[in-house]
């Protein structure tokens, strides 16, 4: 299992959002690096698979910052649709939109047409759980990825951003959760 650093496509895409992400840029960028490396390790990826995972990774939480909302999936999907259109990649739109829309799905996503959706969910969960959920990945690999791409306050920032939602809706799941 390799560690790719830098990944030019990731750097290019997220570089466009550096101002929007502000002080959270490094934390978010490192989160994307970690989660897509976990995706790469969980699935035997083609070059197109890797590119789809990188694109989805870059945009999957971005709406949280661009729209200042915990209900960030719709704005994140709108941003990735615009990117795909501008780069003549509309043929990937359905799959990448599903990857983003379902990345916090509680149950496994089961559609043989789009296996990357579940891979993406799992890769994000490995990082979100700080490696407690591993999906069979070796702990040493997870720790190596975490060392290469430090948290930089990402999880702390997620808690800060979600605090307002939970204060207003203490008994309701956040809008990004899917069954």
Q: Which of 112, 114, 135, 4 shows the shortest CA–CA distance to 56? A: 114
Contact at 8 Å (CB) between 76 and 105?
Answer: no
Cβ partners under 8 Å of residue 39, min gap 6: 45, 53, 57, 116, 119, 120, 122, 123
Residue 178: the pLDDT is 59
**Domain positions in the chain:** 8-168
82 preceded by cis ω (within 30°)? Answer: no
**DSSP for residue 108:** P
Q: Each residue's pLDDT tens digit in the chain (179 positions)?
A: 789 999 999 999 999 999 999 999 999 999 999 999 999 999 999 999 999 999 999 999 999 999 988 889 999 999 999 999 999 999 999 999 999 999 987 788 888 899 999 999 999 999 999 999 999 999 999 999 999 999 999 999 888 877 777 777 776 766 665 55
Contact at 8 Å (CB) between 116 and 43?
Answer: yes
**Greatest alpha-carbon span in the chain:** 43
> C-alpha angle with apex 15: 11 to 19, nearest 5 degrees?
155
Residue 163: the pLDDT is 77
Q: Facing residues of 104 across strands?
A: none
Residue 168: the pLDDT is 75
**3-state SS class at 132:** coil
């Amino acid at each position: 299992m390799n560690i790719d650093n830098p990944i030019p496509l990731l750097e290019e895409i997220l570089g466009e959002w550096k101002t929007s992400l502000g002080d959270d840029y490094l934390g978010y960028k490192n989160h994307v690096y970690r989660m897509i490396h976990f995706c790469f390790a969980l699935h035997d990826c083609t070059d197109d698979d890797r590119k789809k995972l990188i694109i989805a990774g870059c945009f999957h939480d971005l709406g949280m910052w661009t729209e200042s909302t915990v209900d960030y999936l719709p704005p994140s999907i709108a941003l990735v649709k615009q990117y795909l259109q501008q780069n003549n990649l509309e043929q990937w739109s359905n799959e990448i939109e599903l990857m983003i829309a379902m990345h916090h799905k509680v149950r496994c996503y089961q559609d043989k047409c789009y296996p990357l959706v579940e891979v993406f969910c799992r890769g994000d969960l490995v990082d979100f759980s700080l490696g407690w959920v591993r999906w069979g990945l070796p702990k040493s690999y997870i720790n190596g990825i975490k060392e290469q791409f430090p948290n930089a306050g990402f999880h702390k920032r997620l808690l800060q951003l979600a605090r307002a939602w939970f204060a207003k809706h203490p008994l309701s799941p956040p809008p990004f959760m899917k069954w």
